[in-house]
Chain A
């Protein structure tokens, strides 16, 4: 008889993490290949098309990077909140609030100020907007013990409706002929892109810098230590005299603020005006949750997982366009890949032994 038993793995090396991820990815690809076979498409052709469309061609790579920018920013912010076991599901709303604040700043001061003044101002405003939207659930949780999963989730909808109200009502642009949406931002308030691409590099640099700074903050500073203790051992934290209120407020301000920065990037770098929530963000705030987890809650790794996930999303285009499969296939493929990556975690933390015994 074959017996499977598992024991906890205490030491998890980087090499083991890498190998586990590669194996999980491979296992996921095998299952995806079966899906493609059922759909009547040669899996090798399909997977190579997806790769071509995301990393394997200059065009695909530029798009992958463009899409990775908000994912890295939001994902890095989320790692901080998740480390403190603050389940922030509200990054989508925090991002939209950042977009709202920065659009207002851009439209109000964009004509009067030069680019080098207005752009930092917009990023500051975006950070502020996201941070404000982030600390609301923090206050609710610490002061009134309101579950943050519910409050952050609901605040997404509230923010989306505030945005809709603004663009349908008072902010509706004169140049839109009665259609909802603000006027375009003035030229000074628009982020420049790398020529021939849509990569708004200022936000990209900001995203990389934020991921690096946050990594230092989490592992090297007293605040990072406190945030981790709040999450991992709140009792010990209390005895150690950690101010839970202050720590949670700061970490949610940062987490929300980074999502707000992503909102600035999308409005000022891609769309150039504020439209309906669905046209500002294609669910980056939710996708970034997975990005943060794939990065094992290490902000620096969100750079890798953000680019990887952006690649999956962008490569998904190929499924529809080159392979002619319905749009839903994209979601099936992406979902399958993720399930396998997350399942890999189990094997990372548990050692499985197979033993044969006679009965």
Chain B
């Protein structure tokens, strides 16, 4: 009996040695797991991430990926464990803010793996963060919204009162203010990332309150569908697409919008990991890096239907004198692509809607300011839910 177990022991050690040898001889591969908060077919956030994942997998031949969609925040610990323990992932990307604590805790449990959390602020030795932000595009959307609105009441359907949303609402409002100082922004909170029914309800009630222009943060085209149906009935509602190319859902209503190209970012992060250059430093991409893109579809930054209207709407600016809304959008977009030091929406003087000066004249909000922003600028109505 003893002999047999000794034999087995030696045998298994030899076997182990062989398999290790085989592993070493193989080319280095990386397996990355992606955890999405929504369904990949949601046409919003998770959809955009999944396009990025596919892009990276196609581009990097040493990369293997696996994804899990519709992961509830209460289940994220388990899914991370499963990706690491069962799927043997080397890297795990978690794509929702609500996964932050689970991701950081997982970093402690698996110190030899790398975790990347999208949109959070907690980092550790093996947990990094990344984000692509769209606030610049919201500003450009705001310029168009301000130029087009007839009622001077502009609506925003918002998911959750967190800094990311406040930043988008404020950027949108700053754009509106630059084009039309009279217009005010009205916000409705729906407390859901994926909630087409709630978004539809909020959009309808904003229209009932007199808003003729709507932007939103929610992962379905629901708001656009509302805008399109009112427009078809003869009441023009302008909408701005969010996160994916949603213009096909409202050809007569969608003026423009924004979407995010995660592909480049995923390729960069994974290449850094592959080459050993990865650090936990926050990866924060904007228009300059080609992450934030203007438009309601892949081809037109602005829906051709509204180009004439925007060319006729004249705006008085300090920098360019009198200029059409269309040209202003294009000029600003160009500047944003050059970098935040050329033009950034959050350049003072900026007051909050309680009258306090938040950013001094000539100063530009730092990334930290933007990441924790929790005040409405002065042309947004109401208060942030407390």
Contacts and interface: CB of A to CB of B under 8 A. Distances in A.
B78 A63 contact: yes
B386 A279 contact: no
B386 A177 contact: no
Given A66-B78, A321-B87, A178 B162 contact: yes
A63 B163 CA distance: 34
Contacts of A92: none
A273 B101 contact: yes
Nearest to A67: B78
A278 B74 contact: yes
Contacts of A275: 73, 98
A59 B161 contact: no
A57 B83 CA distance: 14
A164 interface: yes
Contacts of A226: none
Contact of A59 (B40, B68, B82): B82
Nearest to A284: B74
Given A272-B101, A282-B75, A321 B121 contact: no
A247 B74 CA distance: 35
Interface string B156-174: 0000111100000000000
B7 interface: no
B79 interface: yes
A270 B81 CA distance: 14
A326 B70 CA distance: 9
A317 interface: yes
A282 B74 contact: yes
B279 to A, nearest CB: 22
A181 B371 CA distance: 17
A296 interface: no
Given A59-B85, A164-B191, A168-B386, A279 B66 contact: no
Interface in A5-28: none
Nearest to B97: A179
A4 B232 CA distance: 57
A238 interface: no
Nearest to B79: A317
A251 interface: no
A287 to B, nearest CB: 12
A266 B86 CA distance: 24
Interface residues of B, number: 34
Contacts of B273: none
Contact of B68 (A53, A178, A272, A321): A321
B90 interface: no
Contacts of B86: 53, 57, 59, 321-322
B72 A178 contact: no
Nearest to A324: B66
A327 interface: yes
A198 B68 contact: no
A314 interface: yes
A177 B372 contact: yes
Given A59-B86, A321-B66, A321-B83, A281 B74 contact: yes
Contact of A327 (B69, B121, B163): B69
A280 B74 contact: yes
Given A275-B73, A321-B87, A177 B98 contact: no
A59 B81 contact: yes
Contacts of B73: 275-276, 278-279
A276 B98 contact: yes
Given A279-B98, A321-B79, 4 more contacts: A53-B82, A273-B101, A276-B191, A321-B82
Interface of B: 39-41, 66, 68-70, 72-75, 77-79, 81-83, 85-87, 97-98, 101, 121, 160-163, 191, 371-372, 374, 385-386
10 contacts: A59-B81, A177-B371, A177-B372, A180-B160, A198-B78, A198-B81, A273-B101, A275-B98, A282-B72, A322-B87
Closest 5 CB pairs of A and B: A279-B73, A327-B70, A282-B74, A282-B72, A178-B374
